[in-house]
């Protein structure tokens, strides 16, 4: 048995020890692998739960439904109301804490109805060293992180997904749309719609890994992998994108020459806040 096989067995054993669980299920690769593991370990004593709000990218709710059906796990959707919290909409660096706290509160409230004892999320071992205010919310709500607890890295998550034949094994990360808005700029449903549609424009150009970061003054900062930056400045693509983005409400369009970086807006967070996180 190799190292990943041993981690997989530890993961399944850990999930069995819970007796039942609800998986916070976003349809990303981490939570999909965890949902598959929960289904294997617990069968109908596992449920996948997707929180739905304006911060969920278009199409991800249907993706979650499709994946849950493919896995064979019971699937529930719940409405979350993070937009009612000024702590969320003001978009300070702890924004994710308030969003995750809302999600975990709603799942915890409904867990008895689903007859589950433990709520789990898809945090993996690579997440431990990053600035993630949502981790505090998970700790406060006693959410377990089986992938992290078993030392499973992001690369190993993708390998497990491939081994289990999951169709999203190579799916690019798709965090909530609010993560694209520069800290200090208010989170509004209208801005998230702009961002979501802008990223679809980039994907329509054949790009898979994209981010459209929203900055003050309705400025769009486009991030794609460095090798793909040249495609954005080809004259026909450039004209289509500039016109399309301005039609969506952006006034300025820029390309980030550093290319795509997950969590690039953390560069705006003061160092003392990062260290505290």
With residues binned 3-state (H G I as helix, E B as strand, rest as coil), the percentages for the chain, rounded to 5, are: 55, 15, 30
What's residue 275's pLDDT? 47
Count the neighbouring beta carbons within 10 Å of the beta carbon of residue 243: 12
List of long-range contacts for 253-256, beta carbons under 8 Å, 24+ apart: 253/219, 253/220, 253/222, 254/219, 254/220, 254/221, 254/222, 255/221, 255/222, 255/229, 256/213, 256/221, 256/222, 256/223
DSSP assignment, residue 270?
-
Question: Considering only CA atoms, which of 153, 123, 152 is closest in space to residue 137?
Answer: 123
Question: Considering only CA atoms, which of 48, 49, 18 is closest in space to residue 146?
Answer: 18
Decide: 91 and 181 in contact? Cβ < 8 Å. yes
What's residue 1's pLDDT? 66
Q: What is the pLDDT of residues 108-129, one digit of tens each?
A: 999 999 999 999 999 999 988 6
In sequence order, which residues have a C-beta less than 8 Å from that of residue 247 and are 6 or more positions away? none
What's residue 81's pLDDT? 94
Count the neighbouring beta carbons within 10 Å of the beta carbon of residue 226: 13
What's residue 38's pLDDT? 98
3-state secondary structure of 72: coil
pTM for this model (two decimals): 0.90
What's residue 174's pLDDT? 85
What's residue 276's pLDDT? 45
What's residue 128's pLDDT? 81
What's residue 261's pLDDT? 81
Spans of the chain below 50 pLDDT: 274-277
């Amino acid at each position: 048995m190799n190292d990943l096989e041993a981690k997989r067995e530890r993961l399944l054993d850990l999930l069995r020890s819970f007796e039942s669980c609800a998986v916070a299920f976003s349809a990303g690769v981490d939570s999909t692998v965890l949902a598959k593991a929960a289904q294997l370990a617990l069968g109908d004593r596992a449920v996948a739960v997707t929180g739905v709000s304006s911060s969920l990218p278009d199409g991800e709710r249907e993706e979650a439904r499709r994946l849950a059906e493919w896995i064979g796990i019971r699937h529930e959707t719940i409405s979350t109301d993070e937009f009612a919290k000024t702590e969320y909409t003001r978009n300070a660096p702890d924004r994710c804490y308030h969003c995750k706290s809302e999600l975990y509160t709603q799942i915890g409230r409904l867990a008895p109805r689903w007859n589950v004892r433990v709520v789990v999320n898809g945090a993996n071992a690579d997440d431990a060293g990053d600035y993630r205010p949502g981790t505090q919310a998970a700790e406060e709500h006693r959410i377990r992180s089986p992938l992290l607890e078993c030392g499973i890295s992001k690369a190993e998550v993708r390998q497990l997904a491939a081994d289990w034949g999951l169709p999203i094994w190579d799916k690019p990360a798709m965090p909530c749309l609010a993560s694209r808005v520069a800290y200090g700029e208010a989170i509004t449903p209208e801005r998230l719609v702009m961002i979501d549609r802008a990223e679809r424009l980039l994907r329509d150009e054949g790009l898979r890994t994209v981010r459209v970061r929203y900055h003050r003054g309705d400025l769009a900062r486009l991030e794609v992998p460095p090798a793909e930056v040249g495609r954005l400045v080809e004259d026909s693509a450039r004209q289509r994108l500039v016109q399309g983005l301005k039609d969506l409400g952006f006034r300025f369009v820029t390309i980030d020459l550093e290319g795509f970086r997950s969590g690039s807006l953390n560069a705006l967070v003061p160092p003392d806040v990062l260290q505290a996180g």
